[in-house]
Chains A and B, each alone.
Chain A
Amino acid sequence: MNVPTVSRPLLTRTLHLVLAVTALLCLSLTGPAGAATPLTELVTDPHQSLSGQEQDQLVQKLTDLRQTLPSHPHILIVLPGHVDDIDQYANETFHASGIGQKGQDNGLLIVLDIPDNQARIEVGYGFEGDLTDLQTFNILHAAQPDLKAGHYAAALNGMLDSIADILRKSETQVHEEQATSDTDFNINGFDLALGVGGMVLFALGSGFTVRAQRREAQGLPLSIFDRFLISIPWDVILSLLINILSAASRNNANSSGGDKKRNSYKSGGGDSGGGGAKDSW
């Protein structure tokens, strides 16, 4: 008897084709070339220009400001090393990171390009009325002595104090929890799998139950499985599943915005239109 077999070259060619298609798909999913890398930390310092202690203090300060100021600003700091165009870098990074809450745009980004002695404060749309270009320029200008002396942490602390003073006097108020739960309605992988898997099982089970009930109504013999299905309180299970999904999404909303890990930042969907100022030292 002839058993059909797949020849080895054909198998290899097919494997190569699958790999090539997969690689193309992966490339197409990586986004446009040159797109800015989103920030995932409150203070991003890849070249370690700040000491660990200074970084911790800044993270604490940023967290405190977000919690205490009426506008609940999402302020991020990045020391990226050399950048070609600090205006473009700041705006694209702000946009890619989604700093601030969606609709409120209460985000701020401080960029310190130490190799080129330049700094920029990028202001979210929501703060353009509170922090004008001139005010941000003056804040940067006031930090010049510290920047020139290489005291970057002191300079950043000074900038944050000045920003906080201005925002404390501003009338912009944001309801942090409400806005966060509105924009971050996501659930984590495990909860999603649990909820969706449960819903699929529920749909299958209830379908078989309807069939069993129909057989019962027609007076046909029922199997043990059919009797088991009919005895299950499907309404209680549905209610339980809905509660699991709802609780999971609530937990996620409460933990969004980088609270799980102190220095982490999760995009809020905010944006900037190029407001702010730059200065060099």
Chain B
Amino acid sequence: MRKLLIPAILVIGIIALLGSSYNRFMGADQNVKEQMGQLQNEVQRQTDLIPNLVNTVKGYATHEHDTLTDYAAARSGETPLNRIDPRSVSDEDLQKKILDAQTRNAQEIKAINVVAEQSPQLQANQNFTSLMVQLEGTQNRITVARQRLQQAILAYNQTVMHFPGNLAAGIMGYHQRVYYEASPAAQTPPVVDFSKH
């Protein structure tokens, strides 16, 4: 009987460790997915706003007209970010799609900023101001969503990599995640002089 006691305690200990680790991995993983979904939605929200802005700006654009038209043509026919099922793509692929969308949005915003800076009449346009305020709002939401995604990934990685969770993580298929790093090129803020209103 005593011979069985130590193996039994060991088995119970291992089961308890695996069980509690699994719950922690699941919770941390779920949090990362939620934050990733939030970032997808916010970047898509920004993407949806830009065509309206481009339509408003086009009439005032001279040099940037062709550039704006090219961007609009490039985005047509693409699957919206918020319709991509995170389970159907790898983390890295999804992050790349989000980053690509964010970078292209930033390039378009940059082109819009150039037109706005050259045209005082555009800055006095109520519709333009309204869209720029919304664009600024989405930019801020993206920043918040990105920070929270980073925090969620950090918490997940700590759960997966630290002892004793790291003993069980690999067996259960939970591996270290890569951080979502948006380049400065993907973060052009909209510029508008609201004092003209």
A residues apposed to B, CB below 8 Å: 87-88, 91, 132-134, 137, 141, 272-280
B143 partner, pick from A274, A278, A279, beta carbons under 8 A: A274
B187 within 8 A of A: no
How many Å lie between the Cα of A134 and that of B133 in the bound state? Answer: 6
Question: Could you list some 25 contacts between A and B, CB below 8 A?
Answer: A91-B140, A91-B144, A132-B134, A133-B133, A133-B134, A133-B136, A133-B137, A134-B130, A134-B133, A134-B134, A137-B133, A137-B194, A141-B197, A272-B144, A273-B145, A274-B137, A274-B140, A274-B143, A275-B137, A275-B141, A276-B140, A277-B133, A277-B136, A277-B137, A280-B194
Q: A141-B194, A141-B197, A279-B194 are in contact. Are A274 and B133 (CB under 8 A)?
A: no
How many Å lie between the Cα of A87 and that of B42 in the bound state? Answer: 16
Closest CB pairs A-B (n = 6): A133-B137, A274-B144, A274-B141, A274-B140, A137-B133, A87-B140
A87 partner, pick from B143, B195, B197, beta carbons under 8 A: B143
B38 within 8 A of A: yes
Within B124-159, the residues touching A (CB, 8 Å) are: 130, 133-134, 136-137, 140-145
Closest residue on chain B to residue A90 by CB atoms: B140
B137 partner, pick from A88, A276, A279, A280, beta carbons under 8 A: A276
Residue of A132, A133, A280 with most chain B CB atoms under a 10 A cut-off: A133
How many Å lie between the Cα of A221 and that of B194 in the bound state? Answer: 92
Closest approach, in angstroms, between the C-beta of A115 and any C-beta of chain B?
A: 18
Q: Check A273–B133 contact: CB distance below 8 A.
A: no
Q: Check B137–A273 contact: CB distance below 8 A.
A: no
For the complex, count residues of B whose C-beta is within 8 A of A: 16
Residues of B within 8 A of A276 (CB): 137, 140
How many Å lie between the Cα of A275 and that of B133 in the bound state? Answer: 11
How many Å lie between the Cα of A278 and that of B137 in the bound state? Answer: 9
Closest approach, in angstroms, between the C-beta of A8 and any C-beta of chain B?
A: 38
Closest approach, in angstroms, between the C-beta of B46 and any C-beta of chain A?
A: 12
SS class of chain B's interface: helix, strand, loop or mixed?
Answer: helix
How many Å lie between the Cα of A132 and that of B141 in the bound state? Answer: 13
Residues of B within 8 A of A272 (CB): 144
Closest approach, in angstroms, between the C-beta of B181 and any C-beta of chain A?
A: 18
Closest residue on chain A to residue B189 by CB atoms: A87
Residue of A91, A274, A276 with most chain B CB atoms under a 10 A cut-off: A274
Residues of B within 8 A of A91 (CB): 140, 144
How many Å lie between the Cα of A277 and that of B142 in the bound state? Answer: 14
Closest residue on chain A to residue B138 by CB atoms: A133
How many Å lie between the Cα of A276 and that of B143 in the bound state? Answer: 13
Residues of A within 8 A of B42 (CB): 273
How many Å lie between the Cα of A272 and that of B42 in the bound state? Answer: 14
Residues of B within 8 A of A137 (CB): 133, 194
How many Å lie between the Cα of A215 and that of B130 in the bound state? Answer: 84
Q: Check B145–A274 contact: CB distance below 8 A.
A: yes
Residues of B within 8 A of A275 (CB): 137, 141
Closest residue on chain B to residue A278 by CB atoms: B136
Residues of B within 8 A of A132 (CB): 134
Residues of A within 8 A of B133 (CB): 133-134, 137, 277
Closest approach, in angstroms, between the C-beta of B37 and any C-beta of chain A?
A: 12
Closest approach, in angstroms, between the C-beta of B39 and any C-beta of chain A?
A: 11
How many Å lie between the Cα of A141 and that of B140 in the bound state? Answer: 19
Closest approach, in angstroms, between the C-beta of B184 and any C-beta of chain A?
A: 15
Closest approach, in angstroms, between the C-beta of A86 and any C-beta of chain B?
A: 10
Closest residue on chain B to residue A279 by CB atoms: B194
Closest approach, in angstroms, between the C-beta of A111 and any C-beta of chain B?
A: 13
Closest residue on chain A to residue B195 by CB atoms: A280
How many Å lie between the Cα of A117 and that of B133 in the bound state? Answer: 18
Q: Given A133-B133, A274-B142, output 9 extra A-B contacts at Cβ < 8 Å.
A: A87-B143, A91-B140, A91-B144, A133-B134, A137-B194, A141-B197, A273-B145, A274-B140, A274-B145
Closest approach, in angstroms, between the C-beta of A26 and any C-beta of chain B?
A: 21
How many Å lie between the Cα of A280 and that of B193 in the bound state? Answer: 10
Residues of A within 8 A of B137 (CB): 133, 274-277
Q: Check B144–A273 contact: CB distance below 8 A.
A: yes
